[in-house]
Structure 1
Amino acid sequence: MEQVFSELTFWHWLALGLILFGIEMMSGTFDLLMVAIAAWLTAGFAYFAPDAWTVWQGQMIVFGVASTALVVFGRTVLSGVRKSSPEHPTLNRRMQALVGERGLAVGDFVSGTGQISVGDTVWRAEAIEGETIHGGDTIIVDGAKMTTAMVRKAAP
């Protein structure tokens, strides 16, 4: 077994880092990224350090210390990076993005439903609480139900 380890070169560490990085890209755990970086740091150590230090035991110590330190660093200091948060809470939720917007009723609402114009788009709408809305009335979007805006008359 010692013969296998005694032939470790910086190429082995570079390859290990690439393999771990590839697995990280498929799994997204973030921990393997830190271990891959530790393998690349060990490759740098194996390439630049004096030959007396780069025996396999020295390389394993550097890899162990670097990977442990980087995983702890990633789990503590960089813990916020792991949390996925949407860039914008209403991204790809067009109806939710309308809430709070002002617009105009395109025509009279019949049985509480009609159409509104917000910006340059016409939307299907429903009046809240049985309000009577006529064409040209200014409205405010209070909510959304599937693809229908829930609206009320704006105060004059």
Structure 2
Amino acid sequence: MWEFMQHLNYWDWLALGTVLLILEVFGAGGYLLWAGIAGIIVGVLTFLIPGLSWTLQLPLFGVLAILTAVYWWRRQRGTVDSGDQPNLNRRGHELIGRTFVVQQAIVEGRGKIKVGDSVWMAVGPDAPVGTPVRVTAQNGAVLSVEIVP
């Protein structure tokens, strides 16, 4: 093993990087991707700098694996943008500010309103059936409403 470590060359690193990338294809969840890329980078550097000792290659591999993973993590975290649909996957949030009609009278602060082809629970001031109300907030499957003057 010691003999192998002292004679690491670029083929060893390229093979390690390739094996890690192949294993990533089988579902490692992204964990081996960055180590595989780091192995390939070390292989390329070892090819370009033939005298690079193994005592520098191993720490370089570790540092590159961490740096590539952190770089991608920060890049992905910064690109979360809902674009032109800010309420996508936030069911009910798009209803805030819209006006609907009371379906079941709001009595003692609780009732139901008709939203499209569905009925939602509503909390707010008491209102008879047919009263127009505006949604002011959403808490799970319950909409807070106010009576439209």
In which range does the TM-score fall when normalised by the shorter chain? 0.5 to 0.7
TM-score where L is the length of structure 1: 0.59
Q: Percent identity?
A: 19
TM-score after normalising by structure 2: 0.61
Distance of 1:97 and 1:85 partners within structure 2 = 22
In 2, are the aligned partners of 1:142 and 1:150 still within 8 Å (CA)? yes
Matched, 1:141 2:135: yes
In structure 2, the partner of 1:39 is 39
Aligned residues: 142
Partner Cα separation in structure 2 for residue 72 and residue 126 of structure 1: 50
Q: Which residue of 2 is the match for residue 95 of structure 1?
A: 92
CA contact (8 A) 1:104 1:139 kept: yes
Tell me the CA shift for residue 102 of structure 1.
1.1
Q: CA 1:11 to 1:73, structure 2 compared with 1: closer, same or farther past 3 Å?
A: closer
Any runs of at least 4 consecutive aligned residues in structure 1 with deviations exceeding 6 A, and if so which?
A: none
Equivalent positions of 1:1-156 (< 5 A) are 1-5=1-5, 7-21=7-21, 22=23, 26=28, 34-46=34-46, 48-49=47-48, 53-54=49-50, 58=53, 60-65=55-60, 67-68=62-63, 71=66, 75=70, 80-81=74-75, 83=77, 88=82, 90-98=87-95, 100-105=96-101, 107=103, 109=105, 111=107, 112-117=110-115, 120-128=116-124, 130-135=125-130, 137-154=131-148, 156=149
Distance of aligned partners of 1:59 and 1:33 in 2 relative to their CA distance in 1, 3 Å threshold: farther
Give RMSD over aligned pairs.
4.0
After superposition, what is the alpha-carbon deviation per residue over 1:34-58, rounded to whole angstroms, capped at 9, x for unaligned? 5433321121134x43xxx525x53
**Where does structure 1 lack aligned partners over 5 or more consecutive residues?**
none
